[in-house]
Amino acid sequence: MFQVEEIRIQLPHIDLAARVYGPENGKPVLALHGWLDNAMTFELLAPRLQGLRIVAMDMAGHGHSGRRGPGAGYQLWDYALDALMAAHQLGWQRFSLLGHSLGGIISVLIAGAVPERIERLALIDGLVPDTGEAAHSPKKLGEALLAQIALADKKKTVYSTIEQAVEARKRGLIAVSQQAAELLASRGLSPVAGGYSWNTDQRLTLPSPLRLTNAHALAFVNALECPVSLVLAEQGLLLNIPEFVYFLDHLGKPNIQVERMPGGHHLHVNDEQGAQAVADCFNGFFAG
């Protein structure tokens, strides 16, 4: 029978929750979910991946994990530090990363920054962040600072029923299937006065105060030394961005395998067929 358990990873600065899949003697894999999602995004995929010990974290501010303290933020490098410290707590000196969307971006930053620690990199519709050139930085920083001040007056949406919250998630900024919305809601909703609310930290919706430039993004990808398997969703986010397609066409990295599959941005959790297709790709990759 496939093993699943819940653990908590206590770091000096934050307490993280994680859902663990697979045998204790499996190859260690740290799984990082997408923006405003949680560890349940891997619920259909993880049982289909063979011989792996997958620790799917709720990243800080998401799911059952803690929120950052007052004055702190949720920058990419903050998540990267959390992930490396979590691996240290797990006793993993060398491990692989499985990342979807934002989790894939963070995985690339980690693998580029400390390549000696990463065995393999499996990515689902995520590679590099939205970039911004230096000339736009002052304006973007101003927008981010003002948005942070304005956040104090915003209140979270309260749904009278779980079904209403699930429906809202289905029709969100990135639409998902009924099954995916229900899985994410099972870990992402909390009861509040008047009904239910998503338990993600509101600061996660703030714009980034500083973006990497195209040169920064390319430098991290070029620094990757481990084998990389990138699954791109045909109806997802990345293939609809001309800048990304250009970036992808000019990588010139023989260690990066790219597989295009039908489905949306959450193809690995939207339905069983998508999860199996991604698993078929990654099983051969991890076995290699």
Q: Which positions are catalytic? A: 101
Q: What is the Cα 238 distance to its own chain's centre?
A: 14
The answer to whether 75 and 185 have CB atoms below 8 angstroms apart is no
Q: Which of 111, 135, 131 is nearest to 247 (CA)?
A: 131
Cα dihedral sign, 86-88-90-95: positive
233 Cβ contact partners less than 8 Å away, ≥ 6 residues apart: 124, 125, 239, 260, 261, 262, 263, 264, 265, 267
- Orientation angle between helical segments 102-113 and 76-90, nearest 10 degrees: 70
Residue 59: half-sphere exposure toward Cβ, Cα within 13 Å: 31
Cα dihedral sign, 237-241-243-246: positive
Query: How many Å apart are CA 79 and CA 3, to the nearest integer?
Result: 27
Cα dihedral sign, 74-80-83-84: negative
